[in-house]
């Protein structure tokens, strides 16, 4: 019927990402057939609608030119915390090579994949992009090493969690606007940010396993008390897609960075069945291909296969759910945007390989230990004398409880770039650990000869 929204195809139908045709076929009632071209924008009934947003904690006038989700994205990009990602470690400390990923380049790659998923599935691309760009705002200097070290320092004061820290940044710590602290983002963006890894509570209201021992971070509970984020329900589809885009991006780029850094060889990847299949395909199509090009061909295939799998699997789950609204997705008993079992296994295999061969490589671990020392030293120095922090951070702490002082110190350290943390340590201590390590890069060319 003319004007009727097209239904989602059955999982067996060909999508525009498959080889049999350039467009997806969407069937309406009767014999009506609607065809979308590759990459065409469309909005599914289960997409999060910016016109139906639950709004902002502090009401604001609407923009005449941008949706609320576009404004969220723009505020994130213009935030101080986002700019600092440029010099925050992904795996390698930033000065180890100009070609290795940082938190900023990682976030951009996640954003590209999240938008691709959103467009294919008819979701709101601007919300997906906002969530992708903001998901790492709460990370400390020195990557997960910095987070682990800061969490240990904060053990007696509620610990440290980078997702909770991202919430603190966008609701309290960014101070740019006249009418409010933070960025005053929409409910939907905050929900997706907090539930990046899924619901925080189970159906009974108890913390999910990853929070069973430590409990839900205080920052999340405090904010949730004034703006209920429905912690026991799944986030909307854009948030689920952004979380998978995060997995896809770091699987692909950590393989790329690890190979270029010489932490492992292409031949080592044959122990991962999924990667062996891709390498065999590359060898068959391009025999004798030079290593630098082979690495890129591998990374792009990982991204492509994972993205196409998410689209197929999500279409099948959406069809089974018969989702007619974003509320149906939030109320589902499992994620609706997801990997198939086969690709979920491949993802887990890649992560196990990277953990053993990259994240726990002896050279990386040596730098991690030194970075942890820097974070621990800074925390101890500031706790002993908060006045050692800049005035804007130490102001108002006279007579404060030790827990409040510790949280302020954690906010300060978490916001540091790698470079600034090293400089602060050099200001306070006579000797600062040397974090420099130059990966051999296997002689692979990184630029045109």
Grade residue 16 by pLDDT with cuts at 50, 70 and 90. very low
Residue 31 has a pLDDT of 41
Buried b (16+ CB within 10 A) or exposed e, 225-245: eeeebbbebbbbbbbbbbbbb
Q: Beta-carbon neighbour count of residue 442 at 10 Å?
A: 15
Residues 390/416, Cβ–Cβ less than 8 Å: no
Three-state DSSP at 102 gives: strand
Residue 410: pLDDT above 70?
yes
Residue range 341-349: mean pLDDT, rounded: 98
Residue 168 has a pLDDT of 97
List CB contacts of 138: < 8 A, sequence separation 6 or more.
161, 162, 163, 164, 165, 166, 167, 168, 169, 414
Grade residue 194 by pLDDT with cuts at 50, 70 and 90. very high
Residues 267-305: pLDDT tens digits? Answer: 999 999 999 999 999 999 999 999 999 999 999 999 999
Residue 443: pLDDT above 50?
no
Q: How far apart are CA 56 and CA 69, in angstroms?
A: 11
List CB contacts of 301: < 8 A, sequence separation 6 or more.
278, 281, 282
Three-state DSSP at 23 gives: strand
Residue 392 has a pLDDT of 94
Q: How far apart are CA 346 and CA 333, in angstroms?
A: 24
Residue 87: pLDDT above 50?
yes
Residue range 309-313: mean pLDDT, rounded: 98
Residue 92 has a pLDDT of 58
Grade residue 89 by pLDDT with cuts at 50, 70 and 90. confident
Q: How far apart are CA 195 and CA 214, in angstroms?
A: 17
Residue 96 has a pLDDT of 52
Indicate the domain borders of the chain. Answer: 363-441
Residue range 377-390: mean pLDDT, rounded: 97
Residue 409 has a pLDDT of 98
Residue of 13 and 48 predicted with greater confidence: 48
Residues 110-159: pLDDT tens digits? Answer: 999 999 999 999 999 999 999 999 999 999 999 889 999 999 999 999 99
Q: pLDDT averaged over the chain?
A: 89
Residue of 261 and 133 predicted with greater confidence: 133
Residue 440 has a pLDDT of 56
Single pTM value for the model: 0.88
Residues 176-192: pLDDT tens digits? Answer: 999 999 999 999 999 99
């Amino acid at each position: 019927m003319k004007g009727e929204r097209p239904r989602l195809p059955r999982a067996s139908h060909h999508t525009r990402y498959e080889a049999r045709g350039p467009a997806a076929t969407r069937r309406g009632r009767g014999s009506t057939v609607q065809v979308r071209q590759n990459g065409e924008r469309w909005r599914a009934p289960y997409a999060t609608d910016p016109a139906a947003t639950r709004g902002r904690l502090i009401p604001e006038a609407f923009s005449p030119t941008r949706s609320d989700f576009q404004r969220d994205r723009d505020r994130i990009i213009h935030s101080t915390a986002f700019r600092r990602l440029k010099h925050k470690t992904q795996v390698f400390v930033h000065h180890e090579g100009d070609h290795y990923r940082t938190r900023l380049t990682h976030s951009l790659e996640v954003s590209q994949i999240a938008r691709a998923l959103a467009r294919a599935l008819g979701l709101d691309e601007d919300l997906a992009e906002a969530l992708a760009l903001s998901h790492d705002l709460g990370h400390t200097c020195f990557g997960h090493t910095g987070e682990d070290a800061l969490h240990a320092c904060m053990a007696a004061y509620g610990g440290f969690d980078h997702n909770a820290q991202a919430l603190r940044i966008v609701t309290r710590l960014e101070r740019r606007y006249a009418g409010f602290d933070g960025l005053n983002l929409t409910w939907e963006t905050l929900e997706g940010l907090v539930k990046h890894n899924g619901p925080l509570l189970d159906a009974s209201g108890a913390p999910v396993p990853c929070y069973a021992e430590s409990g839900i971070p205080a920052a999340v509970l405090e904010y949730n008390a004034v703006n209920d984020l429905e912690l026991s329900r799944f986030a909307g589809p854009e948030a689920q897609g952004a979380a998978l885009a995060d997995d896809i991006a770091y699987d692909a780029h950590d393989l790329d960075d690890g190979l270029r850094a010489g932490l492992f060889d292409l031949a080592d990847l044959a122990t991962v069945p999924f990667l062996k299949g891709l390498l065999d395909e590359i060898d068959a199509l391009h025999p004798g291909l030079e290593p630098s090009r082979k690495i890129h061909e591998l990374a792009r295939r990982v991204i492509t296969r994972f993205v196409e799998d998410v689209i197929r699997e999500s279409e099948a789950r959406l069809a089974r759910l018969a989702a007619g609204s974003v509320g149906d997705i939030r109320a589902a008993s499992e994620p609706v945007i997801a990997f198939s079992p086969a690709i979920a296994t491949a993802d887990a295999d890649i992560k196990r390989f990277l953990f053993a061969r990259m994240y726990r490589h002896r050279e990386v671990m040596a730098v991690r230990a030194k970075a942890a020392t820097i974070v621990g030293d800074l925390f101890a120095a500031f706790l002993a004398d908060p006045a050692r922090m800049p005035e804007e951070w130490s102001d108002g702490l006279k007579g404060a409880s030790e827990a409040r002082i510790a949280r302020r110190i954690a906010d300060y350290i978490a916001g540091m770039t790698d470079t600034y943390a090293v400089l602060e340590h050099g200001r306070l201590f006579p000797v600062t650990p040397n974090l420099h390590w130059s990966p051999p890069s296997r002689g692979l060319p990184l630029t045109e000869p």
